[in-house]
Structure 1
């Protein structure tokens, strides 16, 4: 009986020590590394509308007149939903569908962004998608509200989406380390620059709208 009690006590101690060690390892993330972007947002991401349009027309859908018509688009499209890597904000002038090349690109941006944050020993955040595919009706409505928006928008082809550089979603709210939006933008810009250099996309840094305007390229 005594031997059994001693064994149970020892087993309990092993479990407690193991749990403490695991918790300690989990919490130990390392010192936050310096976050910096060695470049210029405006110069590095200055692909003009004509460049976006050219590739959008080549690999995208034919523009659809209404949201109902999107079900019969000329190419199969992928519905994008909030997931582990990005959050889709409430869309008022677009629908959450992209051609496969653009949907894959968006997920890669979200994954690479989080991988970069992990490598920097930072808290983990999700990027936010603010605009996706626009119908002809969406473009006209947006034009009435914002006269600077283009009637000939790459957003009509299912190849293009906007990612905010102002807003992000923190995954673990209990994590006491907060990264400000300026440094998160630096991390995001580094990820986007790498993908642009790899010929995965064209990008325009939108200062007034607070987003990166991104069009997928042909793989």
Structure 2
């Protein structure tokens, strides 16, 4: 009799557990209230690393610049191809190729991952950052200079160490999520991520106002 009672209780408990699991099937985890998003700094003061700083590090750790796209095919072996993934989106590249040296590729992925982790901690909807420019050949730099007089002829982009991330465009991961975060606040979150990585001496960053991007060069310890 005791055994039957024990078995009955065990089956009842198992049934309740199964019912509880089933009741949660298909339901999204409930998100808490959106926390205040604010960047307690200055974009222009915090991200003011000039071209000569980017260039010095790029020359030290990067590839030998390729003259043209044909020559770039050879140096690709020293770099890692980047493409749209769960953390970032690579926009259509007209004046650059989607390749970075390994440390720069790792930095880019960490930026995208940390950006999404920060959004989760703020109970915000999740977005991807957008990469707008990567590695340029010498010909790419010359052609871009013809179209954009503000671009530098002596560009750190030639070394596979440098990329641009937009602060005006982002991609929402789940379009069914009804919570929308405006670009100004997304820029604040991105700036917090970049400031942390700068403090860790992982990168140099320039806030580009006219181009609407953060110009980022990877750093490596000497």
What TM-score does the superposition give when structure 1 sets the normalisation length? 0.91
Distance 1:62 1:133 in 2: 12
Counterpart of 1:100 in structure 2 is: 102
**Count of matched residue positions in the alignment of Structure 1 and Structure 2:** 209
Q: How does 1:106-185 map to 2 (within 5 A)?
A: 106-185=108-187
Q: 1:37-85: CA deviations, max 9, x gaps?
A: 0000000000000000000000001110111211222971000010000
Q: How does 1:15-26 map to 2 (within 5 A)?
A: 17-24=20-27, 26=28
Q: How does 1:1-219 map to 2 (within 5 A)?
A: 17-24=20-27, 26-73=28-75, 76-219=78-221
Alpha-carbon RMSD across the aligned residues, in angstroms, is 1.8
The 8 Å contact of residues 60 and 75 in structure 1, kept in 2 or not, is answered as no
The 8 Å contact of residues 76 and 99 in structure 2, kept in 1 or not, is answered as no
Distance 1:61 1:202 in 2: 18
Q: 1:175-198: CA deviations, max 9, x gaps?
A: 000000000000000000000010
Gaps of 5+ in 1: 1-10
For 1:175, what is the secondary structure of its paired residue? coil
The 8 Å contact of residues 124 and 170 in structure 1, kept in 2 or not, is answered as yes
Counterpart of 2:7 in structure 1 is: none
What TM-score does the superposition give when structure 2 sets the normalisation length? 0.89
Structure 1 stretches of 4+ moved >4 Å: 11-17
